[in-house]
A and B are shown apart, each in its own frame.
Chain A
Amino acid sequence: MINLKINGLPVSVEEGTTLLEAAKFLGFPIPTLCFMEGLLPYGACRLCVVEIGDGPKAKLVSSCTYRVEPGLNVRTASSRVIKARKMIIELLLATCPQSKVIQDLASAHGVHQQRFRQEHDDCILCGLCVRMCEQQMMAKAIGFQGRGEKRSLGTPFNIKSDTCRLCGGCIYVCPACQLRCTYNQPEKTVCNGCANLTPPCLEKEKFDDMMCYMEPCVACEIKNDKK
Chain B
Amino acid sequence: MEKIKSIEDFKLLQEMLIFGRDTNIPTLVISAGTCGQASGANDIIRVAKRELINEELTNKINLRITGCQGFCQMEPSILVEPDGTFYPRVNINNMKRIIKAIAQGKVLEDLFFVDPETEKPIAKQNDIPFFKNQVRTILSRNEKVDPIRIYNYIENNGYSSLRKVFEKGDRTWIIEEAKISGLRGRGGAGFPTGLKWEMLANQPNGKGKFLVCNADEGDPGAYMDRSVLEGNPHSIIEGMIIGAYATGANQGVIYVRNEYPLAIKHLIIALRQAHELGVLGENILGTGFSFDIKLVRGAGAFVCGEETALMRSIEGQIGEPHQRPPFPTQKGINGKPTAINNVETWANIPAVIEKGAKDFAKIGTKNSSGTKIFSLVGKVKYTGLVEVPMGITIGEIVNDIGGGSDSNAKIKAVQTGGPSGGCIPAKMFDLPIDYDSLAQAGSIMGSGGMIVMDEHTCMVDVAKYFTNFLKDESCGKCFSCRKGTQRMWEILDDISNGKGTITQLELLDELAQVVKDTTMCGLGQTAPNPVLSTLRYFRDEYVEHINNKRCPAGVCKELITYSINENCTGCQLCIKSCSENAISGKKKERHVIDPAKCIKCGVCKSICKSDAVVVK
Contacts and interface: CB of A to CB of B under 8 A. Distances in A.
B301 interface: yes
Interface string B173-198: 00000000000000000000000000
B512 to A, nearest CB: 10
B476 to A, nearest CB: 3
Interface of A: 42-46, 49, 59-62, 65-67, 69, 80, 83-84, 87-88, 91-92, 94-95, 115-117, 124-127, 144, 146-151
A62 B514 contact: no
B472 interface: yes
Interface stretch (B243-251, B351-359, B480-488): B480-488
8 contacts: A46-B519, A65-B323, A87-B510, A125-B479, A144-B318, A147-B303, A147-B473, A147-B476
A162 B483 CA distance: 32
B263 interface: no
A88 B478 contact: no
A149 B487 contact: no
B435 to A, nearest CB: 16
B474 interface: yes
A148 B519 contact: no
B479 A88 contact: yes
A83 B586 CA distance: 63
A46 B475 contact: no
Nearest to A87: B514
B554 to A, nearest CB: 27
A116 B492 CA distance: 12
B487 A46 contact: no
A149 B482 contact: yes
B487 A147 contact: no
B479 A44 contact: yes
A148 B514 contact: no
Contact of B479 (A59, A69, A92, A146): A92
Contact of B517 (A84, A91, A125): A84
Contacts of A67: 325
Contacts of A44: 477-479
Interface of B: 301, 303, 318, 323, 325, 471-480, 482-487, 490, 503-504, 507, 510-511, 513-514, 517-520
B360 to A, nearest CB: 29
A43 B480 CA distance: 11
Most-contacted residue by chain A among B471, B473, B479 (CB, 10 A) = B479
Contact of B478 (A46, A66, A80): A46
Contacts of B484: 91
A185 to B, nearest CB: 23
Given A62-B520, A88-B518, A116-B490, A95 B483 contact: yes
Contact of A60 (B318, B471, B518): B518
Contacts, number: 98
A42 B475 CA distance: 14
A125 B477 CA distance: 8
B323 A91 contact: no
Contacts of B510: 83, 87
Nearest to B468: A149
Contacts of B475: 147-148, 151
A69 B519 CA distance: 20
Contacts of B479: 44-46, 88, 91-92, 124-126
B509 to A, nearest CB: 11
B486 A87 contact: no
B487 A60 contact: no
B507 A149 contact: no
Nearest to B494: A117
Contacts of B485: 148-149
Contact of A49 (B301, B476, B482, B518): B518
Given A66-B323, A95-B483, A125-B482, A149 B514 contact: no
A33 to B, nearest CB: 8
Nearest to A80: B517
A144 B482 CA distance: 14
B511 to A, nearest CB: 6
B478 A151 contact: no
Nearest to A47: B479
Nearest to B503: A115
A88 B471 CA distance: 17
Contacts of B471: 148-149
Given A125-B479, A147-B303, 18 more contacts: A44-B477, A45-B479, A46-B479, A46-B480, A49-B517, A80-B517, A84-B514, A87-B510, A91-B479, A95-B483, A115-B504, A125-B476, A126-B479, A144-B476, A148-B471, A148-B475, A148-B485, A149-B472
B578 to A, nearest CB: 34
Contacts of A83: 510, 513-514
Contacts of B480: 46, 84, 88, 91
B516 to A, nearest CB: 9
Most-contacted residue by chain A among B301, B323, B482, B484 (CB, 10 A) = B482
A148 B323 contact: no
B576 to A, nearest CB: 40
Contacts of A150: 472, 476
A107 B544 CA distance: 37
Nearest to B486: A149
A87 B517 CA distance: 11
A149 B323 contact: no
Closest 10 CB pairs of A and B: A151-B476, A87-B514, A148-B474, A46-B518, A46-B480, A149-B471, A91-B483, A60-B517, A148-B476, A84-B518
A205 B334 CA distance: 58
B212 to A, nearest CB: 22
A65 B520 CA distance: 11
A88 to B, nearest CB: 6
A89 to B, nearest CB: 11
Contacts of B476: 125, 144, 146-151
A67 B326 CA distance: 10
Contacts of B511: 87
Nearest to B469: A148
Nearest to B517: A60
Contacts of B482: 125, 148-149, 151
A211 B471 CA distance: 45
B575 to A, nearest CB: 40
A22 B254 CA distance: 41
A144 B475 CA distance: 11
Contacts of A125: 476-477, 479, 482
A115 B474 contact: no
Contacts of B473: 147-148
Contacts of A45: 479
A87 B303 CA distance: 24
Most-contacted residue by chain A among B323, B483, B486 (CB, 10 A) = B483
A114 B301 CA distance: 32
A84 B476 CA distance: 18
Contact of B487 (A42, A80, A116, A146): A116
Contacts of A124: 479
